[in-house]
Structure 1
């Protein structure tokens, strides 16, 4: 399949679905982990999400067999793109407001662009460079309060640790995305997504049994609805859409385009949790929107990517 340097119609629809599905989920997760321990929550969602996707794939007549010679590569993608991202980001979220967590987590495009130039030999265009600078400026705006505190003011350890966890999580997500793009694993997108989630659930659930222990009380109905949303929307749909989007365009385009997701996370935090963002969040919003605009919306005609017959990623 040829890779357009701009999003196709399908890519734009996938991006919209991702932005809404994952963006709204940040405040939902913030609420859930106040009642359900982080590892238990993520392990449960990964397991059910993976089983659900593989069940859909099997019902659709797709083979669930992993391609010979690619199992180790699938495990590496799983480690970085699913396990590390989910565990680190969930703990980071527990220490930060939902909106700020979303914005810091989406430093991922910065690392993805840099890694793709190094590993994939992607071309570093002026347009990508400007988008990258705008995105980086948005991150620095978010970190400004912590940076100021390092020069004389009191340091909030929770905010600092949370920010570090989110940035490391973002780097891991970027590394896994670049691996997935480089290796071009010859397997259907739905099947690959299902295996990534299910395989990731095994170590996370084992860690949950050790760290979290047995549940002490039944979560509220609202928290259970949040888990339902995570399994079916945030995991089954959004992870499939992300893997599909990565297969359509260069990782620099898919990653920078996804910067719109944390903006919805900020707005959702305001509406659902009553968070009050300050000038760092507003500045970051403007800068990140600028990055998305630069990388995608130019005077050139948007290219519609047509699948190649027999493409296993369909």
Structure 2
């Protein structure tokens, strides 16, 4: 995303970008166990959609307080809609549904194969060369998913298959969205761009979810309400603002490498908070997946 504000000196770009990236990584990593906990109280699509809409409204308010224009130029509207679909609508919908079949930590591991897919899809779509390192990255990424499927036995892996396919769909969609933004950047202030993308992307998720089931406020525990606040304020507002700020200040490959810590935080936090398994199989899958991401983003 481009921002009309002045670009700071190179040294400040790097240090500031890394701070923004760290905040994003921790916030998104912790959101996995929070979301997994909440879908036991609220259906996944209304949960993802409604919290996203609330986050978008908060971002619009923040942008207005900053004095940023909320208007979208005509030549940016199609880009905004396409980006919102791949980076928000598809991601929010399929990842929320994947949590019905998968533990939060395992979903995070598969979700963050997206830098591998980005590196590979950049070959036919952006003309970036497909190297041996990127091929090895794909092999490692698939190996990690295979280990994850087999960690609890064949019967358990078949039970997990719908969740794995959904999470892979989300990772591929986000990769396409990343490539689209690299090819067609959106010329809006960061907060305005984030607000429009999250809002446009989450409206269909909420609408489809509400057509099937209406969430009940009474079903939320006090901890559930705290989780909702976390998703709205931290996951959508703080993390997305920091992510777009990091992309403005860091090379795309550095930002992608930084997201590698997100599934690590998700797996460890889910093990402690939700009692999810953290055995040799899960650790091996995590190591393979992160190694694949590292190869993809450094090649």
TM-score normalized by structure 1?
0.82
In the TM superposition, what is the alpha-carbon distance from 1:293 to its structure 2 partner?
A: 6.5
Distance of 1:85 and 1:43 partners within structure 2: 11
Q: Does 1:37 align with 2:35?
A: no
Residues 111-122 of structure 1 aligned to structure 2 (within 5 Å) = 111-122=117-128
Alpha-carbon distance between aligned partners in 2 of 1:67 and 1:262, rounded to the nearest angstrom: 36
Q: Deviations over 1:122-176 (max 9, x none)?
A: 45677xx36x7357525523422536999xx436443011111001011111111
Q: What residue number does 1:271 align with?
A: 272
Aligned partner of 1:238 in structure 2 is: 239
Following the alignment from structure 1 to structure 2, what is the Cα–Cα distance between the partners of residues 168 and 247?
27
- Do 1:259 and 1:288's aligned partners in 2 also have CA atoms closer than 8 Å? no
CA distance in 2, matches of 1:199, 1:24: 24
- Offset at residue 191 of structure 1 (A): 0.7
Count how many residue pairs are aligned between Structure 1 and Structure 2. 289
Within a 5 Å distance, the mapping from 1:1-314 to structure 2 comes to 8-122=14-128, 129=133, 133=136, 136-144=139-147, 146=149, 153-154=154-155, 156-213=157-214, 215=216, 217-288=218-289, 290=291
Question: What is the alpha-carbon distance in structure 2 between the residues aligned to residue 201 and residue 137 of structure 1?
Answer: 32
Q: Secondary structure at the match of 1:69?
A: helix
Q: Deviations over 1:181-223 (max 9, x none)?
A: 2111111111100111111232122112211135284311101
CA distance in structure 2 between the aligned counterparts of 1:148 and 1:23, rounded to whole angstroms = 22
SS of match in other structure, 1:154: helix
Tell me the distance in 1 between the aligned counterparts of 2:169 and 2:185. 25
Label 1:134 to 1:230 Cα distance change in 2 as closer, same or farther (>3 A).
Answer: same
Gaps of 5+ in 2: none
* Structure 1 CA distance for aligned equivalents of residues 91 and 226 of structure 2: 23
CA distance in 2, matches of 1:54, 1:62: 9
**Larger CA deviation: 13-22 vs 116-125:** 116-125
CA RMSD of aligned residues (A): 2.8
Counterpart-to-counterpart distance in 2, 1:135 and 1:9:
31
What corresponds to 1:307 in structure 2? none
Distance 1:162 1:122, change over 3 A: same
Distance 1:274 1:25 in 2: 16
- Structure having the higher helix fraction is 2
- d(CA) in 2 for partners of 1:213, 1:108: 32
In structure 2, the CA distance between the partners of 1:69 and 1:272, relative to structure 1 (3 Å rule), is same
In structure 1, the gaps of 5 or more residues are 298-314
Rate the CA distance shift 1:258–1:21 in 2: closer, same or farther, 3 A.
same
Change (3 A) 1:121 1:82: same
Distance across 1 between alignment mates of 2:40 and 2:81: 31
Q: How far 1:37 moved relative to its partner? A: 0.7
